């Protein structure tokens, strides 16, 4: 397998893992704000949060941190690029 194909395969696999790691907290806490919980998205930094302890009225606690999102995205890209470079440099030549 060529180094370019190894890089692309490892990059896409690592990017998929990073995407799943960011989506997993959301999938586990989806609609928790309707039961006085918090719906959260993001790993390692929670960039989206809605809900919390609130009165019988609607929960107005909504946070979206663009800096945390950009940091999570940067970490995911660094992780994917490092995995791709490692895969391209290893193996038979």
- Write down the pLDDT at residue 10: 93
Among 22, 15, 10, smallest CA distance to 87 is for 10
| pLDDT digits 0-9 by tens, 41-76 | 888 888 877 776 665 555 556 677 889 889 999 999
Give the Cα separation of 87 and 65 in Å (integer): 33
Give the Cα separation of 52 and 87 in Å (integer): 43
**Cis omega (within 30 of 0) for bond into 48:** no
Per-residue pLDDT for 16 more than 90? yes
Q: Is residue 2 very low, low, confident or very high in pLDDT (cuts 50, 70, 90)? A: confident
Q: CA torsion sign, 83 to 85 to 90 to 92?
A: positive
The whole-chain average pLDDT of the chain stands at 82
Q: What is the mean pLDDT of residues 12-17?
A: 94
Cα separation values, 11 from 30, 45, 75, 77, 87, Å? 28, 21, 13, 9, 9
Q: What is the mean pLDDT of residues 19-30?
A: 87
What is the span of the domain harbouring residue 77?
Answer: 3-89
- Token readout for 28 is 């586990």
More confident residue, 61 or 24: 24
Q: Structurally, how many domains does the chain consist of? A: 1
């Amino acid at each position: 397998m060529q180094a370019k194909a190894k890089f692309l395969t490892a990059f896409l696999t690592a990017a998929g893992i990073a995407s799943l790691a960011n989506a997993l907290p959301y999938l586990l806490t989806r609609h928790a704000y309707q039961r006085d919980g918090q719906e959260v998205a993001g790993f390692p930094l929670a960039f989206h949060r809605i809900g919390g302890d609130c009165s019988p009225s609607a929960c107005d606690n909504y946070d979206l941190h663009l800096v945390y999102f950009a940091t999570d995205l940067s970490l995911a890209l660094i992780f994917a690029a490092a995995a791709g470079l490692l895969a391209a440099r290893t193996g038979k030549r």
